[in-house]
Structure 1
């Protein structure tokens, strides 16, 4: 190919380059718009799921509140409220700090 032929094709290549650049710009704008719609859809879905989770947490808190559990236990299961003489305390004697004796041999084996 001679330089004369190349000079004749220069305008064609420059127009081809401009057209390719414009097509790529349009393509990138379309992709940006498509990604924006995807993000919008995911945001709406996230908000919907978040609100559903929130309503379920609120309903769980309402169902498990102590007053409701007491009334259900008394009505459905015929349970009675606890009286003070029914409570059993399982605390043992308090240990003094002087009562604690640790053998050095046992401590060495634990390490």
Structure 2
């Protein structure tokens, strides 16, 4: 290619470069907008899941509160409250061994 042909094509190449730059800018702006919508959608989904978790934790706390468990045990399963004469007191060698285990810090799974 001669230098004269290259000079004639210079304006064409410069316009082509400008158009390519403008297209790339538009493309990058569209990608930025699309990513913003994706982030917004994920943020809304995260808030929704977090709210469901909080509601379930509250429901679990209500279900497992001691007063409710006590009343269910007395009504549905006909259980009665523990009386003083029903409590078993351990004494002797077994209690000393348990005290040793507790003092040494051995876990229950090791027993």
The TM-score normalised by the length of structure 1 is 0.81
> Residue 59 of structure 1 aligns with which residue?
59
> Residue 103 of structure 1 aligns with which residue?
none
> Does 2:73 match 1:73?
yes
> Residue 32 of structure 1 aligns with which residue?
32
Say how many residue pairs are matched.
97
Query: Once superposed, which parts of structure 1, at least 4 consecutive aligned residues long, lie more than 2 Å away?
Result: 89-95
**Mapped partners of 1:87, 1:11: distance in 2:** 100
Over aligned residues, Cα RMSD in angstroms?
Answer: 1.8
Shift, 1:90, TM fit: 3.0
> Residue 15 of structure 1 aligns with which residue?
15
Q: Which deviations, in whole Å up to 9, do the C-alpha atoms of 1:59-96 show, x marking residues without a partner?
A: 0010001110000000111110001111113354547x
**Mapped partners of 1:86, 1:60: distance in 2:** 31
> Residue 86 of structure 1 aligns with which residue?
86
Question: Greater share of helix residues, 1 or 2?
Answer: 2
Could you tell me which runs of 5 or more consecutive residues in structure 1 were left unpaired when the two chains were aligned. Answer: 98-111
